[in-house]
Amino acid sequence: MVSTGKGIYELKCQACHKLTEEKLVGPGWKDVTKTRKPLWIMNMITNVEMMLETDPEAQKLLELCMVRMPNQNITTADARSVVEFMRYNDGEK
Ligand code: HEC
């Protein structure tokens, strides 16, 4: 799952997200799995429009980044792989 997630990251997320804490277009992913719940991350990946409309934390990020993250049409299964890749990036096995 981690390598599937990495592939998706390189294809569809890397243009806007670094794996460090550094912000690119969107926030860097370092420690995102420690500060956010898995379901929240899943929703951000598969249903970003809803999150930007209703979730206060997502809205804070929007104020910070001033760009709306586009919906990348990621399936639930692929989103799970990306979350696994994020966990791996945060040093978990
Ligand atoms: C065009 C740029 C862009 C692309 C491509 C993009 N994002 Fe984002 N992402 C953002 C922005 C900007 C935000 C901050 C929220 C906002 O402003 O909409 C964000 C926020 C996030 C967050 C919340 C981060 C945090 O610190 O809580 C996650 C998780 C996320 N994106 C995952 C993904 C995934 C997974 C992909 C690839 C499938 C992806 N993004 C592709 C721009 C992008």
pLDDT tens for 17-73 read 999 999 999 999 999 999 999 999 999 999 999 999 999 999 999 999 999 999 999
Query: What domain range is 63 assigned to?
Result: 2-89
pLDDT of residue 92: 83
Does the C-beta of 41 come closer than 6 Å to ligand 1? yes
Does the C-beta of 42 come closer than 6 Å to ligand 1? no
93, pLDDT greater than 90: no
Residue 35 Cα to ligand 1 midpoint, Å, equals 15
Give per-residue pLDDT as tens, 8-17.
Answer: 999 999 999 9
Atom of ligand 1 nearest to the CA of 27: 26
Residues 6+ apart with CB under 8 A from 50: 43
pLDDT of residue 8: 98
* Structural domains of the chain, count: 1
| CATH number for 71 | 1.10.760.10
CB of 69 within 8 A of CB of 55? Answer: no
Residue 93 Cα to ligand 1 midpoint, Å, equals 23
Does the C-beta of 19 come closer than 6 Å to ligand 1? no
pLDDT of residue 42: 98
Q: How far apart are CA 7 and CA 36, in angstroms?
A: 22
